[in-house]
A = this chain, B = another copy of it.
Amino acid sequence: MAEASDRRVRITLQYDGSGFHGWQVQPGVRTVQQELEAALARLTQRELRVAAAGRTDTGVHARGQVVSVDVPARWEPAELERALNAVLPGDVWIASVEAAPGDFHARFSATWRAYEYRVGTVADAFGPFHRRTCWPLRDALDRSLLDRCAERLVGEHSFRAFAKAGQEERGDRCEVYRAAWSDWSAVGLVFGIRANRFLHHMVRYLVGTMVDVGRGRRPFDDMDALLRNEPEVTTSPPAPPEGLFLTAVGYDDAVGGTRGGTQDE
């Protein structure tokens, strides 16, 4: 589909995942990739395929999803950004379109990804302004236990216990550069995590398990046991998708992209 006169661009976008069956094109359902490719086709009169840094699941949001695509060279990045925002539906928004090197690939060039997970701890979290973008909880959470859980995640570990079964064909080790809970304005708490790669559903399994430790339903030591893959210990159910945001993707721009691919939340 690429032509000699094309230019590669890096598109950074946001979407509210509430109205989508995730990122990836699937027949018969509305997805973000399908909306973006339809907008590109409408503007360029070409069938263009985009590659995304992370394939978010149904209901998961993005504030910093990155895609790469080759577009006809007559489309200047700034012009394409304005035109895409004019034709895309309101729940998808292009933050930027930038020129990219010919070997840039949104998925394979990425060196890290960052996610946030919001937990609502006040009654308002159940209200109309937060319910689609957080996991509202009625239980009190022990912040110091949550902090200890997060600290335990930093470094390189096998996260096999925190992944959807049978999805680890590229190995189960991830290097976590940052994992921490912080305040989410007056509404609750937010867990932020940055790593070289993520296994499928990993952030949601981590949050589901940490929250159960934080509300006293299971001991802190379970976190250690899970990271050691002790077979008799299993995670809590995954936290619901509404609270999860893909917030940023990192690239080593000086080098261009040759890093291995990842499986993403």
Contacts of A144 in B (CB 8 A): none
B185 and A126 form a contact (CB under 8 A): no
| Segment from A88-96, A102-110, A196-204, A206-214 that makes contact with B | A88-96
Contacts of A185 in B (CB 8 A): 185
A14 and B93 form a contact (CB under 8 A): no
| Segment from A67-75, A127-135, A169-177, A252-260 that makes contact with B | A127-135
* Chain A contacts with B in 110-136, Cβ cutoff 8 A: 123-124, 126-129, 131-133
A129 and B90 form a contact (CB under 8 A): no
> Chain A interface secondary structure, helix, strand, loop or mixed?
mixed
Bound form: Cα–Cα A85–B126 in Å: 10
A265 on the B face (CB < 8 A)? no
Contacts of A128 in B (CB 8 A): 14-16, 90-93
Most chain B beta-carbon contacts within 10 A, residue among A129, A131, A132 = A129
Of all chain B residues, the one with the shortest Cβ separation from A133 is B129
CB proximity of A90 to chain B, nearest CB, Å: 6
CB proximity of A48 to chain B, nearest CB, Å: 22
From B14, B124, B126, give the contact of A129 (CB < 8 A). Answer: B14
CB proximity of A243 to chain B, nearest CB, Å: 13
